[in-house]
Amino acid sequence: MAAHARTSAVVGLALVAAVTAGCSGSGSHPGSGSRTSSPPASSARAGNGQNRPAPAPTESNPPGDIPDNQAYVAFRPTGGSFTGFTVKVPEGWARTEQGSTTVFTDKLNTVRITAVSASTAPTVGSVTKTVVPQLRSQVPKFAAPKVSEVTRHSGRVVLLTHQGDSAKDPVTGKVVRDAFERYAFYKSGHEVDLTLSGPVNADNVDPWRIVSDSFTWR
């Protein structure tokens, strides 16, 4: 009986060892979920973006910002009360004629050019006394007027800066708070008023300088 018990115990241990070895073998099978295999080298590189070209940067201009690559063309009036001047305006902007005034618009920005006869040159005092009250009655929520003399390529000019609300958009019904720059150029009885406007938060210092500096008499 003792020998039979020992034999049974040995057989039992052998069966346990065989089962354990079998389980270990099955766990190392390539298809087993218990083993994590490394992805192919090409897949790893693709995941890191090493084999793909870097995406082109997306240019995003705040509302009203004129793009840095904006082209400009010379505007020479052919009608109206006076045609003896030239000024550069942004290429591709919509153009409308309103009597002696020509207007160029694109989205939220406007270039307005008006030629009138004047017996005397505008001054800081005359613009403050006459033009500011006129605009105050015409521009919704007119505010922050400032009149000064500045130098442009054509010489000394009177500059009036102010703020005001734009006209209501006929589609969206929205109103934009605009900043205005009004330059009064004068020569030999002729005055040309160049008004540049766009949203107050837009950075259009360089484009507006290009336009105002381009004004020349012919």
Residue with the bigger pLDDT between 5 and 215: it is 215
CB distance 46 to 52 below 8 Å:
yes
Taking 70 as the threshold, does the pLDDT of residue 26 lie above it? Answer: no
pTM of the predicted protein model? 0.71
Taking 80 as the threshold, does the pLDDT of residue 169 lie above it? Answer: yes
Backbone angles phi, psi at 21, to 5 degrees: -65, -40
Q: Which amino acid is at 119?
A: S
Residue 201 in tokens: 């938060």
Taking 80 as the threshold, does the pLDDT of residue 176 lie above it? Answer: yes
CB distance 24 to 162 below 8 Å:
no
Question: What's the chain's length in residues?
Answer: 218
Q: What pLDDT is stored for residue 168 in this prediction?
A: 87
The model's pLDDT over 115-132, given as tens digits with 9 standing for 90+, comes to: 999 999 999 999 999 999
Q: What pLDDT is stored for residue 79 in this prediction?
A: 80
177-187 and 155-165 beta bridge pairing:
antiparallel
Q: What pLDDT is stored for residue 67 in this prediction?
A: 93
Q: What pLDDT is stored for residue 54 in this prediction?
A: 59
Q: What pLDDT is stored for residue 172 in this prediction?
A: 86
Taking 90 as the threshold, does the pLDDT of residue 178 lie above it? Answer: yes
Backbone angles phi, psi at 167, to 5 degrees: -65, 155
The model's pLDDT over 44-95, given as tens digits with 9 standing for 90+, comes to: 444 454 566 655 443 444 578 999 999 999 999 988 879 999 999 999 999 9
Average pLDDT over residues 101-121: 95
Residue with the bigger pLDDT between 98 and 162: it is 162
Taking 70 as the threshold, does the pLDDT of residue 179 lie above it? Answer: yes
Residue with the bigger pLDDT between 188 and 61: it is 188
